[in-house]
Copies of this chain bind each other. A is one copy, B any other.
Amino acid sequence: MSFEFEVLKKDDRTKARVGVLKTPHGDIPTPIFMPVGTRATVKTLSNNELLDLNTKIILSNTYHLFLRPGDELIKKAGGLHKFMNWKLPILTDSGGFQVFSLTENRQITEEGVHFRSHIDGSKVFLSPEKSISVQENLGSDIMMAFDECAPYPADYDYIKHSMDRTLRWLERCVNAKTRDDQALFGIVQGGMYKDLRKLSAIETCKFDLKGYAVGGLSVGEPIEVLKEMLDTCTDYMPEDKPRYHMGVGSPDYLFESVERGIDMADCVLPTRIARNGAAFTKYGRINLKNAKFTEDFTPIEEDCDCYACRNHTKAYIRHLVMNGEILGGRLLSLHNVRFLLKLMENIRKSVIDGNFLEYKEEFYKNYGYLD
């Protein structure tokens, strides 16, 4: 049955767990990292490459697809899966985050958000109902509720007001939803205020949904604050539903998220840093623009199973990056996405084997000093 979520193993010492989420387009093992295909393409990569990397679900973006090419066109194509020929699950962001991060001159009202397109400046309106309508045209497996991702820092009253409105918008999303083959996830907000996070989690999870997300974190706050907020949220989110930490994709943040009971995460980080010449490694991030790689005829990681590491050296990839050759960003994207997917595979295995914390400790022992 679609959207059934089963926890297969719980860690004894942390909130980490391993599970599986069923969707109309296939099962998703959790915890999972979801590569981001903002405009119906995970930047630089093809579908067959994503499958080779063992991608199980991708994320796409309501805001961007609504503006271009338009959700009506994608509906005519038979939905987003057919439009981009991606056969596995898709999660669509509601557009909330982008409306609040990419647009200017926005007017937030109870009804929704008026803003100007970041492409051509034209006037656009998004609301809970409109976001759901667009996401139904896209036909994603998992839709996200339309929320306000509040700025950081923001004062208590602003966050409280915003959080309350996000809850009212969630109710409108629930009422607007018409399709049974799509799940709707609510989003817990509450800024960096523990009591608001708790309240938001409790109120959001009162809606009987297929899953719940934590939004508005990793927006510039210290990691200790993020950990505390995340812990508070997941303490009040049901165990039998998937929990999605939005916008997180650095290796260390993924560990911290899983440790706090998170099952899903997404981020543009692996593909974005790739286009800038950078690669994840177990020792931290490296940038191939660094002259020390000029004559480095070894792969990014000797033991990585990605196409880039099996076939190419740092010296060659550096040459591509330094010359602005597209293959450079492609190879780095392949490696970086594989790095995070493999990390999550290893994390799943460690939870099953009962040594998640040991795996995390070992990872941290190496990680970071190159950053």
Contact = CB atoms under 8 A, between A and B. Distances in A.
B73 A325 contact: no
Nearest to A334: B46
Contacts of A84: 312, 316
Contacts of A69: 294, 315, 318-319, 322
A77 B315 contact: yes
A78 B295 CA distance: 12
Interface in A89-113: none
Interface size class of A (residues with CB under 8 A): 35 or more
A68 interface: yes
A327 B327 CA distance: 11
Contact of A320 (B41, B307, B325): B41
Copies of this subunit: 2
A83 interface: yes
A122 interface: no
Given A39-B323, A69-B294, A77-B316, 15 more contacts: A39-B320, A40-B319, A41-B320, A46-B327, A46-B331, A68-B323, A69-B315, A69-B319, A73-B295, A76-B295, A76-B297, A83-B319, A84-B312, A85-B312, A85-B316
8 contacts: A39-B320, A46-B327, A68-B323, A77-B313, A83-B313, A83-B315, A83-B316, A326-B329
